[in-house]
Each structure stands twice: as C-alpha cells, then as structure tokens.
C-alpha cells in the first residue's frame, strides 16, 4: 500500500521520535536534555560503552556519531526491528492514535492532483520571478531596492512581480497547457458565482512565495504597488495545498537555521515576527531563524508549529498599542497549552520601529539587544494586569488576586499551573508589601501607587505607563462622575458593551474591517479578556465564523454571565443595532459611529487628565502658562459636553445616525 506524504508527515509530527526509539534504548541521564527534546544513548546498532547515539524530537531524526547510522521513525523500525515499511507505519500510527487510511482510489487520485498542483505553483513562481526582471517589473525592483534588499536575498526568497494585466498569469499557464480547473484549484485566479470570466488574483504586486515544510510553493503573498489598492497585502485563499492558519512563512528555512550542527553546540530558538519583509530583512542581516504568521493573529496551529521547532519561541511585536495588544492575545493563546519545558517569551520593539528599521542602519546588533531583553510569559501577564491601576483598598487588591487566579486557571498542565500560582502570589506579596511598610510613616495609599513592579522597583512617575502625580492611569474623579463614562457598577460602560456585542451578534463584520475592529481598546478588564478570546476564536474559524458558534465558544470559555448582562444592558437602552435582529448594514454603520465616539472619548479623557496634571504642577510664577492651560482645559470640557449631547449610545439615547427606526425591543 502506498502512503501519502501528508499522512506520513502527520504521524511523524504527532509522535516524538524519542518515543519510538525509547522502546529499544535507555537514555543517558547525564547527556540527555528532556526539556529540549535532545536525547543520547549507547547505539543499539553497534556495541559501545559511551553514548554516541543521538536523536532530536524537533528534527525527527537520529544519528550515531560512532557508526554513522541515521534515519527517521520508520527507518529505525525497519533497520533495527526488521519490520516492513507498512508495518513500521502501522506501529507509528498506532502510537499516534490514528487509523491507517484504507485503500482509496479517490485518495490516491487526490494525492496525484496535489502533486500536479504543486507543479502549477512552481510554474507560477517562475513566471513571477521572470516578470520581476522584465521591464514591467521595474517599479517592483525599485521598491525592493529601496527596502535595502540585495539581489542574493531576492533570489533566496524567490521574490517576483505580478503584472497589472488582469490575465497575464492565466494566459501564461494556459499557454503551458495547464487546465482551467487546475489554475482555479491553486487559487491563482478569482472565479465562481457571479464572475463570468476568471481573472488573476494577484495584479501589480510584489510576490512572496510561501513554502510547505517540504519546501514546495503552496501559496503566495502579494504586496500592492499602488497606494490605492484595497488591500496592502493579499494572501492566497485556502486551497487543497494551503490553509493560512496552519502555515508559517519561512518555516523550513528557520527550522534548519536553528538546528544544532557544526559550529553550534545547542539548537537555537525561533523568533516569530509580524510580516514577510520583517523575516526577509532579518535574514539578510544574519538572523535566519525567523518566521511570521500570514497577516493574521497567531493561531493555535501556528503556535504548535513553533513548539515543534523550539521549546520557547520568542514572539516579537511592535512596541505600539497594536503590538502590545497582539502580544497580550498571544499570551492568552499560549497559556492553556503550557507544559514543563514549553513556553513563550516576548520581545517588544521600540515604539515606531519594526525589525527592518533596526537592522537597516547598524546590522543585527540593535535587534539582538531587543531579543536579549525578551520577557517570559509570566511577566507579560503580570504587567498587563497591574498596569494603569492603583491598589489602595483591600477590595482592589482582592479583585487583582481573583483576576490572576482566573487567568492562571486555564493552564492545562497541573504542575505548571501550580508554579504560576506560586509566582503570582509572590508578585502580589511584593506589590503590596511597600504599602504595609509605608502605612506607618507615609500613609497607606502611597505604597500602592509606585507603578506596580516587583519589590524595589520604582514607578515611572510620568507618562501613560505609570502613576502620574500620585494618581493611577484612570480618569480624574470629575470625569469618572460625568455622564460620559459612568455606567452600571458591575458592567462595562454602555458604549463598550455595544462595541463588543455588535461583533458577537454580527461576527461577519470582522471579515470586512478586521484591523479596525481588532484594534479597539476596552477599559473594562472583563471585556479585554473576552475580546482576546473572541479574536482567537475568529482567527481559528476564518470564513466559517458564525454568531451562534462564536457565542457558544465564548460561553464555554467562561463568559456566559458577562454576555447575558451586556445583552440585557443593551436591550434596556433599546440599542437594537447591537442585537441579532439588526440588519448587518445598520449594525455596521452604527458600529463605526460608536467606534469613532469611543476613540474620541478616550483621547479627550487623556487630554483632560494631562491638562489637570499640568495645571496642578504650574506655580504662581507662571500666570500666562496657567491661563493657557485653563483655556485648553475648558475647550476639552466643552468638547466632552458636546459629545454627551450628541446622538450616540450614551445614557439611554436610543437613536444612532438616524438609522435606528425607533423599534423597541422587549427585555430579555
């Protein structure tokens, strides 16, 4: 029986090679490093007294440095145990808990078709490469040159150019006698219902081939040359060859670069950055162990791919607000899957910089320094939960403790979960200890407003990341009391509830405006966690995301009570556009207005807090400055009042943008 390559890859990936070999060899305790998946033993193929037989789970290979024998799971079983190849496959499949595929002519036909599709993708890659070097590709070459890429790098990554013509690639492949159905199956053209004549999916774009683990081209990413293009980056759609959430750009090359070998005693880590150009620029600077997700938030499957290569990948994000939010989503994604020797760390780039910026001027040195400051997952969780708040009351401290317990509780491995609980308790003790010491001479309040670091750390003193003039990051008392931000004591602000519930009830809006919707920042901690979970679910579901399925998964993740409370809050305010009964277009328009108000509201709050702080710090010797600040504060307050009176979702207003038709929704 012939087994498909995809089936053999699947069972190899599911069963660590050490599990197969461990049935016949005894691992040397001194040389073996289990957490790294690195094993040593005396060779079972020749007699020896010191261990020279080595295997790595990450590679899925073994090698004896004494007799030179090497191979994979199946080779070990056929050579040492005398099994036939089908018997070896059966053994590994049994260990993986997967049944052998039954003889299936259709499956064999599909495997042949996959091979044919790979040949078509190779032809398309060569076409794009040739076009880059043609007269039509001049502006694409100029773009790559401006980005600092050398000819060698362009060739290494097989970069190309898709011409502006609607049918350039289609006509080229047709001229090579490639059937229409194969061109469509590869996702190279746009076709289907309502499209009379198919046309090239990629036009006027720099092309980035995406490779499989076997280094065959399975998809493309395209970067638009025109600033007016509707999408700056465009990926292939899902096909028989390609599923976006299960692939990492530069996977095989990075895995090879990170492996132990001549000149490298230990395997390196893997670094995940945000985009194609980040990977390529770093590779050119000498940092080759880098991958990237394909334009989406990191998925569970992609995280699993990272862990196959290294026990602790480094996730590298931009230092701006969007990058921090992406890091927090990745932290929440990783927590349930932590195991002994399996975690992630986070490297945050300077704000406004991407990896390309760091290495363009001074080489890899600045980027290496960023990596050296990478923080473990536990630190990221801790800093997220304590930032921008003070803990001057027992209730606030109890709330923080309960929140940390809830976050840590999702860790599946009992031992890791226990150590995380211990770590968080120690951090809490360190955070609260200064307050108890200072209560005797300095007052109880001050100790909890030093910025929330570990014992001995000092607060920032200014700026949005730390305490400001003895206050936490929250709005001033007067602003908190204003109608602009007040809401039910146990619920998020009404505007935030509308933003969240509109997407819960109309998740298809995510497919239309993902970047804008995903970047919304919530004040409510409960909503922050719900939002992170929602985006993770959406990333997994892709085009198959439904309101019913989304709500069911959110409820399974512990958000049932919050969803029920927000739904009732919205119905009480008669804001029908945030409910499932609303027309999607009405929901979208109302959502956009609400989001604009929300963003403006946050900006005004910051301005007001900053102005009040500056006024408080102004001395009597600066009357002109004080007058300017007071006038600026008055303008901000007037703007806040104007927003409060605007038709918006605040304190019982039930009309949005003239689209809400006065329909009253019954409670419940």
Q: Which of 267, 249, 245 is nearest to 258 (CA)?
A: 267
- The 10s digit of each residue's pLDDT in 541-554 is 777 788 888 999 89
What Å distances lie between residue 317 and 314, 396, 563, CA to CA?
A: 10, 30, 30
Q: Which of 198, 195, 188, 193 is nearest to 234 (CA)?
A: 188
Q: Is residue 38 helix, strand or coil?
A: strand
- The 10s digit of each residue's pLDDT in 370-411 is 999 999 999 999 999 988 777 888 898 899 999 999 999 999
Tokens of 240: 């028989």
Q: Determine the distance from the C-alpha atom of residue 363 to the mean position of all C-alpha atoms in its chain, rounded to a whole number.
A: 26
- The whole-number average pLDDT for the span 160-171 is 96
- Residue with the bigger pLDDT between 17 and 667: it is 17
- The 10s digit of each residue's pLDDT in 400-430 is 999 999 999 999 999 999 999 999 999 998 8
Q: Determine the distance from the C-alpha atom of residue 280 to the mean position of all C-alpha atoms in its chain, rounded to a whole number.
A: 19
Calpha distance 370→349 (Å, rounded): 7
Calpha distance 160→28 (Å, rounded): 49
Inform me whether the pLDDT recorded for 190 exceeds 80.
Answer: yes
pTM for the model stands at 0.56
pLDDT of residue 482: 34
Least confident of 166-180, 281-295, 416-430, 477-491: 477-491
Ordered alpha helix ranges (H), 464-583: 477-481, 494-505, 509-512, 514-518, 525-541, 547-554, 560-572
Calpha distance 533→78 (Å, rounded): 46
Q: Which of 414, 402, 411 is nearest to 378 (CA)?
A: 411
Q: Where does the pLDDT of residue 651 fall: very low under 50, low under 70, confident under 90, or very high at 90 and above?
A: very low
Calpha distance 352→297 (Å, rounded): 19
As a three-state string, the secondary structure of 344-380 is: CEEEECCCCCCHHHHHHHHCCHHHHHHHHCCEEHHHH
């Amino acid at each position: 029986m012939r087994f498909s390559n995809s089936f053999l890859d699947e069972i190899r990936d599911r069963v660590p090679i050490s599990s197969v070999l461990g049935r016949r060899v005894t691992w040397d305790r001194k040389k073996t490093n289990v957490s790294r998946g690195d094993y040593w033993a005396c060779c079972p193929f020749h007699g020896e007294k010191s261990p020279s037989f080595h295997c790595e789970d990450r590679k899925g290979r073994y090698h004896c440095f004494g007799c030179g024998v090497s191979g994979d799971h199946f080779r070990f079983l056929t050579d040492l145990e005398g099994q036939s190849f089908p018997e070896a496959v059966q053994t590994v499949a049994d260990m993986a808990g997967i049944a052998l595929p039954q003889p299936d002519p259709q499956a064999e036909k599909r495997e042949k078709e996959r091979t044919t599709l790979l040949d078509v993708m190779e032809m398309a890659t060569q076409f794009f490469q040739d076009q880059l070097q043609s007269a039509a590709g001049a502006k694409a070459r100029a773009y790559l040159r401006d980005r600092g890429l050398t000819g060698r790098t362009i060739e290494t990554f097989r970069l190309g150019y898709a011409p502006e013509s609607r049918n350039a690639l289609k006509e080229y492949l047709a001229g090579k006698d490639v059937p229409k159905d194969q061109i469509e199956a590869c996702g190279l053209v746009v076709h289907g219902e309502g499209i009379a004549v198919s046309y090239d999916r990629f036009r006027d774009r720099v092309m980035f081939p995406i490779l499989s683990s076997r280094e065959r081209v399975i998809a493309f990413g395209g970067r638009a040359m025109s600033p007016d293009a509707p999408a700056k980056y465009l990926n292939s759609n899902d096909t028989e060859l390609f599923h976006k959430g299960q692939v990492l750009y530069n996977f095989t090359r990075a895995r090879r670069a990170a492996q132990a070998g001549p000149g490298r005693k230990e395997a390196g880590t893997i670094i995940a950055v945000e985009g194609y150009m980040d990977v390529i620029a770093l590779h050119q600077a000498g940092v080759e162990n880098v991958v990237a997700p394909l334009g989406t938030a990191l998925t569970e499957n992609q995280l699993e791919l990272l862990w196959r290569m290294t026990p602790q990948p480094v996730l590298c994000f931009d230092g701006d607000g969007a990058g921090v939010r992406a890091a927090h989503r990745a932290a929440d994604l990783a927590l349930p899957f932590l195991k002994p020797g399996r975690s992630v760390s986070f490297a945050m780039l300077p704000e406004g910089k991407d990896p390309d910026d760091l290495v363009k001027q001074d080489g890899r040195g600045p980027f290496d320094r960023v990596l050296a400051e990478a923080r473990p997952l536990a630190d990221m969780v801790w800093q997220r939960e304590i930032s921008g708040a003070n803990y001057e009351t027992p209730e606030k401290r109890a709330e923080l403790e309960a929140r940390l317990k809830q976050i840590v509780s999702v860790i599946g491995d009992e031992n890791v979960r226990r150590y995380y609980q211990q770590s968080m308790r120690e951090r809490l003790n360190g955070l609260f200890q200064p307050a108890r010491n200072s209560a005797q001479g300095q007052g109880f309040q001050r100790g909890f407003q030093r910025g929330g670091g570990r014992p001995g750390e000092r607060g920032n003193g200014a700026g949005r990341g730390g305490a400001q003039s003895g206050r936490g990051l929250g709005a001033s008392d007067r602003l908190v009391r204003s109608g602009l931000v007040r809401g039910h004591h146990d619920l998020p602000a009404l505007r935030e509830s509308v933003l969240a519930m509109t997407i819960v009830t109309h998740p298809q809006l995510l497919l239309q405006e993902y970047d804008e919707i995903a970047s919304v920042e919530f004040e409510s901690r409960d909503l922050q966690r719900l939002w992170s979970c929602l985006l993770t679910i959406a990333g997994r579901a892709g085009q198959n995301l439904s309101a019913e399925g989304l709500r069911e998964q959110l409820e399974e993740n512990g958000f049932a009570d919050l969803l029920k409370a927000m739904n009732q809050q919205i119905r009480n305010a008669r804001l029908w556009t945030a409910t499932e009964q609303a027309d999607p277009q009405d929901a979208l328009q109302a959502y956009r207005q609400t989001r604009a108000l929300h963003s403006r509201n946050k900006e005004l709050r910051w301005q007001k807090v900053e102005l009040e702080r500056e006024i408080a710090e102004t001395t009597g010797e600066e009357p002109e400055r004080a007058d300017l600040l007071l006038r600026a504060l008055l303008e901000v307050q007037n703007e806040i009042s104007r927003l409060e009176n605007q038709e918006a979702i605040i304190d019982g207003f039930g009309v949005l943008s003239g689209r809400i038709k006065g329909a009253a929704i019954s409670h419940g």
